[in-house]
Amino acid sequence: MTGLYFRQISENLQLLANVTLGFNIYNSNFSPSWTFLASMRLLSMHSRFIPNYKCDLGNIPIAVIGGPDICLHMLNLLSIYKIPQVFPGSHKFLSVPIITTPSLGKGILLLLLHFRWTWIGLLSVKDEAGEKFVQDVVPKFSQHGICFNFMEWFPNVAFYSDFMDVMDKGLEIYEILMKSTSSVIIIFGELRTMLILRTLLRFSEVEDLGLREKIWVMPAQMDFTSVSLNRNWDICFLHGALSFSSNSKEVFGFQEFLQSRNPTTEPHDGFIRDFWEQVFECSFPNTKKRIKRPENICTGEERLQALPASAFELNMSGHSYNVYNAVYAVAHALQSMHSSKYKQRNWMNLEKSVSFNNNVGEKISFDRYGEFIGGLDIINWITFPNRSFSKVKVGRIDHFAPLDKIFNIHLEFITWPETFNQVRDRVICYFSKFKTKQIKIPSFWKPFCCYDCLPCPEGKISAERDTADCSPCPEDQYPNHNKNACIPKVITFLSYEDALGISLAICALSFAFITSYVLRIFIQHRDTPIVKANNRNLTYVILISLLLSFLCVLLFIGRPNKFVCLLRQPAFGIIFSVAVSCLLAKTIVVVLAFMATKPGSKMRKWVGKKMVSSIVFSCTLVQAIICASWLMTFPPYPDSDKHSMSQEIVLECNEGSVTMFYCVLGFMGFLATVSFSAAFLARKLPDSFNEAKFITFSMFVFCSVWLSFVPSYLSTKGKYMVAVEIFSILSSSAGLLGCIFAPKCFIILFKPEQNSKHLLMKR
């Protein structure tokens, strides 16, 4: 290819007229020692290797064009002799002209920010170029919120060095790769770095640990065709990788030149002959080499187009385009020097000031650092099962374009790794809160960021990506499943439209109907002995109180309002206290009546309607005073509970004073306890006139219900708290109704013969 460039220059009458250019090609073999040897040969005679002695040539080489991986070794030696050097690569710290772009780090940054890849890993070769690259990109990345999961160095070894020296460090790097949580890894290095990485990743295939979900980002241009053994190597781990190269264009005549070159047309070119044998895996017949199989004989008519990309690339690569521009840069610098009046003009400065248009119409110029001013191509690597690969240009970075067009990438052209899901961004937290920790980084830099991604706590959201804090939702809203937006809470209360509400209402009305029916039975049979024997007036009051207690349940169902909240708790407390105080009065009257029958008893004066009325009135009055104090000090009011339920706003009656609420329940419990004690003492009185055992059992039911109510009420939330209280009211009222009046109704309706004065007196 270099021959093509020199031929074009020689045919150009406007460039170096009457000047013939020649070139020599030296192989560095990826080794510093071979690089030094080749550099020394440039300074020696052709026939004999005598450093610093050239008697057969009048002048030393005009310029040297070298690869980026060997430039440092050449620089140390050739700079002594002031030989200009042009290196394709990224070495801003060199004081020689280079064909590169100064914005490689910025290009990588634009790529990472475009895909929102903020959690990455970095592998770099441990040499001066690698350290310079890390020093440049780490602070830039950190300023834009990009953090490093890990930073590791590849050992810097020559190609022919003992790989056992590399394996210890390589296994350590492999272990880090396996444990890393980042899906994007930047690799900075040259071809031998990728060969080491390829060796390490063989472990992944053997152990089936799957590194194919990683996205490899390669700043440098990798020329896998420069090493013949790689034709048989599987580089499928690069499938979906992204790399950067200098903008390249197809040079006119490049394809025709390649297709015309073969050992037949160039019989004296030993380089083509060796190249042909390597890429086509054949041998030319000669007297020194014995051919084992006739089918492996090289004919010279083999076609380069038939070779896979892993063996030879026909298209103009970034490397080739850089060499093309480097040759022309040297030629134009020579042209400027020959046409200048000052023949002793500084060659270095002269080459930096070169500016020209190449044959494809692109302007070639250098900045004050000697770096080529140009853009970058973004390359997507696609591998195939037959171990070939293709490099597809998917984007471009042009720093001279308008701001909105500096970075251009075509997502539809990108082929991602099979297990990588670009739609679900896996290297950042979408809606999360961060917690800082330390990471291992090179000693020349200090930790700057490293985050663990944690979900927002309950009730909070993160509307933006990569935020440091979570914001709470308003009280009337709650976070959605992804915790990136707030949703209005549903307003709820125990209503007649709910299955629970309508069920409780039906139960209350059913018990109220049963109570009304029992009251009717007692009124119809009011003159029967069993009704008259148990103080029928108190019986009527108890039944009416139970009827009203069942109907009080309806005050607890429906949308709360101020009137309902003020009425429902005091109403139930007073009404049920009337029922319990009536039972207490009946029990006390029965006990006093039997005590008054004893000769000389003074209890006779206590037996009467005044005694009964005073007991009922005084007990009810105490409860009424408690309720009045409650209403005057801390009255209940309608309220909305926005905190008990995460997705609901519960409309409820706030009791105002919890103390007063439990005072009402406590006084009813006190009446029930006294009634239970009195009935228990009167259980041995004659059965025909005694309800003590029924009252005892009913009070036991009442106490059991309301003792279990307190923990149940405190452990429930929302409308179910109201349901628990309704259930307690229904249970305690139904317990009184069933335990006291069911036996009497059974006798009245089904055993009328037992409802006679004669039988009662006999018993």
Q: What is the dihedral of CA 277, 281, 284, 288, to 10 degrees?
A: 90
Write down the pLDDT at residue 397. Answer: 86
Cβ 219 vs Cβ 90: under 8 Å = yes
Kind of pairing between the strands at 407-409 and 64-65: unpaired
Enter the DSSP assignment of 283.
B
Specify whether the CB–CB gap between 184 and 214 falls below 8 A: yes
Q: What is the pLDDT of residue 456?
A: 80
Report d(CA 417, CA 348) in Å as an integer: 45
Q: Where in the chain is the domain with CATH 3.40.50.2300?
A: 1-95+320-372, 100-247+374-413
Give CATH 1.20.1070.10 domain extents, the chain: 499-761
DSSP secondary structure, 80-116, as one string: GGT--EEEES--TT-SS-EES-TTHHHHHHHHHHHTT
Separation in Å, CA 453 to CA 65, 148, 447, 480, 557: 49, 14, 18, 19, 46
Exposed, middle or buried: residue 711 (CB in 10 Å: 0-12, 13-18, 19+)?
Answer: exposed
Interatomic CA distance for residues 214 and 271, integer angstroms: 39
Domain 499-761 has CATH 1.20.1070.10: yes
Provide block-wise average pLDDT over 10 residues at a time, the chain (763 residues): 69 76 75 75 67 59 70 70 62 42 76 88 82 86 85 70 67 79 83 69 53 75 54 72 83 80 78 82 68 69 77 76 82 78 58 75 74 80 80 85 84 83 44 35 42 73 74 88 88 90 94 93 85 80 92 92 91 91 82 61 60 86 93 92 86 90 90 83 59 77 82 82 90 88 86 68 55
Token code pair at residue 537: 């007036």
In this prediction, residue 530 carries a pLDDT of: 79
What is the DSSP code string of 662-723?
HHHHHHHHHHHHHHHHHHHHTTTS-GGG--HHHHHHHHHHHHHHHHHHHHHHHH--THHHHH
Full 3-state SS string of 710-753: HHHHHHCCCHHHHHHHHHHHHHHHHHHHHHHHHHHHHHHHHCHH
Neighbouring C-beta atoms of residue 245, cutoff 10 Å: 23
Residue 103 identity (one-letter amino acid)? S
Q: Which of 510, 559, 520 is nearest to 543 (CA)?
A: 520
**Residue pair 39/77 in contact by the 8 Å Cβ criterion:** yes
Cα distances (angstroms) measured from residue 57 to each of 27, 45, 47, 54, 344: 22, 7, 11, 6, 21
pLDDT at 431: 34
Element (H, E) at 360: none
CATH fold of 100-247+374-413 reads Rossmann fold (3.40.50)
Task: Find, among 370, 377, 374, the residue nearest to 330 by Cα.
Answer: 370
Which residue from 222, 123, 109, 124 is spatially nearest to 182, judged by alpha carbons?
A: 123
Q: What is the DSSP string of 566-593?
A: HHHHHHHHHHHHHHHHHHHHHHHHHHHH
Decide: 742 and 736 in contact? Cβ < 8 Å.
no
Residue 194 three-state SS: helix
Which of 425, 438, 436 lies closest to 465, judged by CA?
425
Q: In DSSP terms, which residues pair with 342 in a beta bridge?
A: none
Which residues partner with 38 through β-bridges? none
The structural architecture, per CATH, of the domain 1-95+320-372 is: 3-Layer(aba) Sandwich (3.40)
283 dihedral zone (left: phi>0; alpha: psi -120 to 50; beta): beta
Q: Which long-range contacts (CB under 8 A, 24 or more apart) does 532-535 make?
A: 533/688, 533/689, 533/760, 534/586, 534/689, 534/691, 534/744, 535/586, 535/589, 535/612
Q: Rg of the chain's alpha carbons, rounded to an integer?
A: 49
Helices and strands: H and E segment counts in the chain: 21, 22
